A and B are shown apart, each in its own frame.
Chain A
Amino acid sequence: MWRWLHPYAKPEVVYHLLGRWLPWVTLGAVATLSIGLIWGLVFAPADYQQGDSYRIIFVHVPTAMLSMSLYLALAIAAFIGRVWQLKMADWALAAIAPVGMVYTFISLFTGAVWGKPMWGTWWEWDARLTSQLILLFLYIGVLALYHAFSDNRTGAKAAGILAMVGVINIPIIRYSVEWWNSLHQGATLTVFERPPMADSMLYPLLICLLAFALLAAALVMQRMRNEILRQELRRPWVKAQFAAELTEANNGQKGQA
């Protein structure tokens, strides 16, 4: 397996591979997001209790679920970076953390805006909401530590350790609604049971989940490419890459003039 994986440990190869996939993943994300959101906003029926306010679910649930998946990916990358000393696993921290942070923020914000008309409050210090807020702070902490040191390896090490320790928060978020009396309702989507939701609402929700997953993948890939360039800025292949891009841009301008 190592022989097969070995070429993929080269930053240059990964950069070009991600570059080849990125347009397709982006296209998929835009297409599924348009379908899912239009279906959810226009064609899905209104909820019999919550009326049209429930339509926030099509952003809230996917981003909340993915904020946790992205954190697991972050922790796995940190683990690989620490144990096998793969520098690209370390760089993945810088690619995943900002995306996870924004997804966490979106889940918190849409939750607050949904909570106001349904629960009568924007915010409550309840187990689910508080643990999700801690997830946001964990992401911010990982990002801050990563960029806090002039030596990049030290920063990645510190950020990786925080990312691994913070994993304890993930089961707490997941089971908070069962362990504590929470204002928040139970899980909407579960793997092994049929969700207690009408198909007309479930299908657009699943499409939105796929769409936000593809979008997260595209954003992480974009950021990973940037991080590879940033780390390898003095390498000949990066210089050749930029030089080629600049001549292409110049030729384009000449062609227009």
Chain B
Amino acid sequence: MQFDSWQAFINMGGYGFYVWLAFGVSFLALALVVVQGLQARRKLQQEFVKEQQRQQRLARRKREVT
């Protein structure tokens, strides 16, 4: 353990701002990639649902006509 206290850990020997800025932005960027990937998957699922509903509508209309 290199730090005596929680404050010393946050302070990082006076370089706290730089160290935590670097780590913070890095993890924010990584989190955004993960979330964007999950969202893309959900969007594909919604697209599938929409397509299915459209085809059901078309089938119903065809049945009504005949």
- Interface residues of chain A, those whose CB is within 8 Å of chain B, are 37, 41-46, 51-53, 55-56, 59-60, 63, 98-99, 102, 105-106, 109-110, 113-114, 116-117, 215, 219, 222-223, 225-226, 229-230, 233, 238-239, 242-243, 245-246
In the complex, how many residues of chain B place their beta carbon closer than 8 angstroms to a beta carbon of chain A?
32
Q: B45 near A52 (CB under 8 angstroms)? A: no
Q: B47 near A113 (CB under 8 angstroms)? A: no
Bound CA–CA A246/B50 (angstroms): 13
Q: B2 near A109 (CB under 8 angstroms)? A: no
Q: A52 near B19 (CB under 8 angstroms)? A: yes
As a 0/1 sequence over residues 19 to 45 of chain B, the CB contacts with chain A under 8 angstroms (1 = contact) are: 101110110011011101110110011
Q: Which of A45, A106, A109, A113 has the most CB of B within 10 A?
A: A113
Q: B44 near A226 (CB under 8 angstroms)? A: yes
Cβ–Cβ < 8 Å partners of A222 in chain B: 34, 37-38
Known contacts A53-B15, A106-B29, A233-B47: A42-B22 contact under CB 8 Å: no
Interchain CB contact (< 8 A) of A226 among B13, B14, B41, B52: B41
Q: A233 near B44 (CB under 8 angstroms)? A: yes
Q: A109 near B22 (CB under 8 angstroms)? A: yes
Q: B2 near A43 (CB under 8 angstroms)? A: yes
- Interface residues of chain B, those whose CB is within 8 Å of chain A, are 1-3, 9, 12-15, 18-19, 21-23, 25-26, 29-30, 32-34, 36-38, 40-41, 44-45, 47-49, 51-52
Q: Which residue on B lies nearest to A229, using beta carbons?
A: B44
Bound CA–CA A45/B3 (angstroms): 10
Interchain CB contact (< 8 A) of A102 among B2, B33, B52: B33
The smallest beta-carbon distance between B13 and chain A, in angstroms, is 4
Q: A51 near B15 (CB under 8 angstroms)? A: yes
Bound CA–CA A53/B33 (angstroms): 26
Bound CA–CA A110/B32 (angstroms): 17
Cβ–Cβ < 8 Å partners of B48 in chain A: 233, 238-239, 242
Q: B22 near A219 (CB under 8 angstroms)? A: no
Cβ–Cβ < 8 Å partners of A114 in chain B: 18, 22
The smallest beta-carbon distance between B30 and chain A, in angstroms, is 7
Q: A52 near B41 (CB under 8 angstroms)? A: no
Bound CA–CA A44/B9 (angstroms): 12
Bound CA–CA A56/B21 (angstroms): 10
Known contacts A46-B13, A51-B15, A245-B45: A99-B29 contact under CB 8 Å: no
